[in-house]
A = this chain, B = another copy of it.
Amino acid sequence: MNNVFKALNDKTRRDILELLKKEDLTAGQIAEHFNFSKPTISHHLDLLKQAELLTSVKKGQFVFYSLNTTVMDELLKWMLQFTAEALPKIKPVTRYEGK
């Protein structure tokens, strides 16, 4: 879970996820969308893979990356506990009687 938050803590990596919503792409196609070197993008892809937010399949010379939604589902579950609905309507009164 730590790896997931780490992976999401970068705009470029979040943008990569958005790119992959439509279709699977190769490492090179992903890199074309950014003004960073290919090794930099490769590193970002690696972090996203470590977090299991992506999967990759090698086909010939190419490596295709795809979204893996299962981790997002878990993250969603974590987050739900902090929404207004999940929290007690009436919190214990903060008793402060000082001046």
Q: Which A residues have a C-beta under 8 Å from some C-beta of B?
A: 2, 5-6, 8-11, 14, 17-18, 21-24, 59-62, 64, 66-67, 69-70, 72-73, 75-76, 79-84, 87-88, 91-92, 94, 96, 98-99
A24: which of B22, B72, B91 is its contact (CB, 8 Å)? Answer: B91
User: Could you tell me the dominant secondary structure of chain A's interface residues?
Assistant: mixed
Q: Give the chain B neighbours of A17 by CB distance below 8 A.
A: 82
A67: which of B10, B24, B69, B87 is its contact (CB, 8 Å)? Answer: B87
Starting from the known contacts A18-B81, A60-B98, 7 additional A-B residue pairs (CB-CB under 8 Å) come to A5-B8, A9-B9, A22-B88, A69-B82, A69-B87, A72-B83, A73-B83
